[in-house]
Structure 1
């Protein structure tokens, strides 16, 4: 079954991109489950802004999705690090993904589009992989890599709580 991949990054302690893989058939139900976690007036879940109690609840919902999240880490935050991670994500999902969604960062928007276009050509999926660069509130599934990346970098119990469905990949 084809997958959709949702990507966000965290820029503390170097640079980490998290790429959450969701089976295409599960996208709708997972979006609905995440939207149900929004508090009144909230447009999106942003892990760093949530209380620890809410973080635990969100991670429990995400664990129930039975996703796989690939983690790509580089020691420094730079355009080159971002490019390496985006290239690796396209490389690793070129044969299985039908859609790739990157959380939009206005400061890197054009850079990301160029990197994705080049990587899709290089890895032979330019005509088969649809990709988008979207604001976080546009797709609830972008909240998953945000939560996982935050937890991973935070370490300790937070990292342990996501480690069972994460794998570290080489960018």
Structure 2
């Protein structure tokens, strides 16, 4: 799972830049569905944002590991972030909401960290973690492109 950090003052500008990348008929960018030249174009724009992306890895894609990743994201942004936006996974939506409520209390940021669970087309900044995670897991040149602004975090 990937979590991109964006300065509050840059949010609107970055969203606009990402929306400008949409092709006619596209509602969102999904890196897995893009062709290599488009992937390079998209990552080029993402690189220009000077973001930091935290990467949380687990052996398998299970609900338990999703919980571990989300808890680690809340832990790592508690006290330093104003808002956390998670991409909605229909099969885990209520689980995620409950977990986020519990984690913000556990890490003492329930009054300072606002969070939302949104569908990917609702916030273009959700496309950034998707693209970076794809590059990271793909490896090779793709991983090298994103490595300068990524850090692997402990669960």
TM-score (norm 1): 0.90
**Superposed displacement of residue 77, structure 1:** 1.4
1:139 to 105, 123, 136: 123
Q: Structure 1: how far apart are the matches of 2:93 and 2:108? A: 22
Q: Structure 2: how far apart are the matches of 1:44 and 1:82? A: 23
**Superposed displacement of residue 79, structure 1:** 1.1
Query: How many residues align structurally?
Result: 155
Q: Structure 1: how far apart are the matches of 2:60 and 2:41? A: 31
**Superposed displacement of residue 128, structure 1:** 0.9
Stretches of structure 2 that go unaligned for 5 or more consecutive residues are none
- Tell me whether 1:93 sits opposite 2:77 in the alignment: yes
Q: Structure 2: how far apart are the matches of 1:77 and 1:104? A: 15
Structure with the higher fraction of residues in strand conformation: 1
Q: Structure 1: how far apart are the matches of 2:145 and 2:98? A: 34
The DSSP-based 3-state class of the residue aligned with 2:61 is coil
Q: Structure 2: how far apart are the matches of 1:119 and 1:155? A: 31
Structure with the higher fraction of residues in helix conformation: 2
The DSSP-based 3-state class of the residue aligned with 1:107 is helix
Stretches of structure 1 that go unaligned for 5 or more consecutive residues are 1-16
**Superposed displacement of residue 76, structure 1:** 1.3
- Tell me whether 1:32 sits opposite 2:16 in the alignment: yes
- Tell me whether 1:125 sits opposite 2:109 in the alignment: yes
Root-mean-square deviation over aligned CA pairs: 0.5
Q: Structure 2: how far apart are the matches of 1:76 and 1:62? A: 27
TM-score (norm 2): 0.99
